[in-house]
Amino acid sequence: MERRDFLKKAGVGTAAVVGAGAALSSTLVGCGKGDQAEVENLKKEVEEYKGKLATLTKKKFKWKMVTTWPPKLDVLQEGCERLAKRIGELSDGQLEIQVFAAGELVPAMESFQAVSDGTVEVGSGASYYWAGKEPATQWFAAVPFGLNAQGMSAWFHGADGLKLWEEVYAPFNLIPRPGGSTGVQMGGWFNKKINTIDDFKGLKMRIPGLGGKVIAKAGGTVVLLPGGEIFTSLERGVLDATEWVGPLHGLRFGFFKAAKYYYYPGWHEPGTYLEYFFNKKAYESLPKELQQIVDAACVENEHWVLAQFDARNGAALQTLINEHKVPVVPFPDSVLEALMPMAEAVVEEEAAKSPMATKVHESFKKFSKEVGTWGSISEKAYYNGIMKKYSLKG
Ligand code: CA
């Protein structure tokens, strides 16, 4: 409703509405019981109008968000839509965000630039997609044999991870916010068996980020494809293998129909973090209270994303094993042991590519050592004991 229409409908001017509350309060004394109820109702109405008036006179913001995810994709695109909805609710409609999936407004891999240019105000992806802009971006998504979801969260919120991320994105006019983690990913869907490290030679695999560079070092051919194009490529043999998060999406995309083996663990992405990025000027144009709502909604969504992945991956794994009889197989230890030094070399090479990458890598390495040492006597010690209870064989 337009402000003018509202006032006309209310039949009063602004001053009259505000003044009415005081007038009613003063007539409350000394009136009968029936009148009193009427007065209470009118008072309530006046309060409602005051609230509506306040909302109508507040500046409204209408933003657009572009993502790198296929339309409706569970947790990923779904999470972006949830974030927009929560910001709308928390701001009482003051900040409305319309969400577009990959390709609906801009192609997936152009969303960073679109937000950077201010064509749209918000984006979502995984920061390793932007390695071409600045190699340092990769550490905020996933480092092979690096931190898990808990460790990444600790680096962002308990150490200097987020501060560094903001520093890396600042030259692009962007403000990043952690968008939640996928948890440990799966190793991927393969049509060829991996028995030794040499089996990666000539393997055509869709695998992004630093992990892809490790596969290239092992002799594989890395193909970069957005989510929507993977299935057909795998089915037609354009790809020998692909990775994409975990069982939930493997089931959704139907990769089990196009690949023979489902390998684990996702050594290349042990706790991949997603991201929201805001155009700096747009973010700074918001009143302080709206900025706080945006930040709080991001943290809430960050928690939601990991919870959804853990819960739904668990259920989807059961379906893949029991209904679709998918062979879920581990990479041999010897393969993981051979990949580890390659990954280390890749990370060092990337770190040397820019001063910012060197700085971020130093922070990540120092933090991983501390939190990893602590983890070895906390998380690891606990898992080594309790995990004997659980196995694929039930
Ligand atoms: Ca992945």
Cα of 379 from ligand 1 centre, angstroms: 23
- Identify the pLDDT of residue 58: 84
Gap from CA of 187 to ligand 1 centroid (Å): 9
Other CB atoms within a 10 A radius of the CB of residue 134 amount to 18
Instruction: Give the residue-averaged pLDDT of 36-48.
Output: 93
The rounded Å distance from CA 38 to ligand 1 centre is 63
Model pLDDT, residue 187: 98
**Res 44: pLDDT:** 94
Q: What is the pLDDT of residues 157-173, one digit of tens each?
A: 999 999 999 999 999 99
Instruction: Please count the residues of the chain.
Output: 394
Cα of 269 to ligand 1 centre, how many Å? 6
What does the pLDDT read at residue 7?
43
Residue 12 clears pLDDT 50, i.e. is over it: no
**290: its two tokens:** 């709206």
Res. 52 pLDDT band, cuts 50 70 90: confident
Q: Thinking of the domain 61-182+272-308, which architecture would CATH place it in?
A: 3-Layer(aba) Sandwich (3.40)
Question: How much is the pLDDT for 53?
Answer: 80
Query: Would the pLDDT of 27 be above 60?
Result: no
pLDDT of residue 34: 76
Taking only the tens place, the pLDDT of each residue in 90-117 is 999 999 999 999 999 999 999 999 999 9
| Ligand 1 center from residue 370 Cα (angstroms) | 25
* Ligand 1 centroid, distance to 65 Cα (angstroms): 22
CA of 279 to the centre of ligand 1 (A): 26
Mean pLDDT (whole number) for 363-388: 92
Distance CA 283, CA 292 (A): 10
What CA–CA distance (Å, rounded) separates 276 from 175?
Answer: 8
More confident residue, 225 or 378: 378
> How far apart, in whole angstroms, are the C-alpha atoms of residue 242 and residue 187?
9
If you ran DSSP here, which 8-state letter would residue 89 be given? H
Model pLDDT for residues 114-155, shown as the tens digit of each residue = 999 999 999 999 999 999 999 999 999 999 999 999 999 999
pLDDT tens-digit series, residues 253-306: 999 999 999 999 999 999 999 999 999 999 999 999 999 999 999 999 999 999
Give the Cα separation of 297 and 84 in Å (integer).
9
- The domain segmentation of the chain, as residue ranges, is 2-57, 61-182+272-308
Q: Where are the alpha helices (DSSP H) in the chain?
A: 3-10, 14-28, 33-57, 76-90, 111-117, 149-158, 161-169, 209-217, 230-235, 247-253, 280-284, 288-322, 333-351, 355-377, 379-386
CA distance 205 to 82: 32
pLDDT tens per residue, range 338-369: 999 999 999 999 999 999 999 999 999 999 99
Least confident of 4-13, 34-43, 323-332: 4-13
Mean pLDDT of 240-244: 97
pLDDT at 13: 46
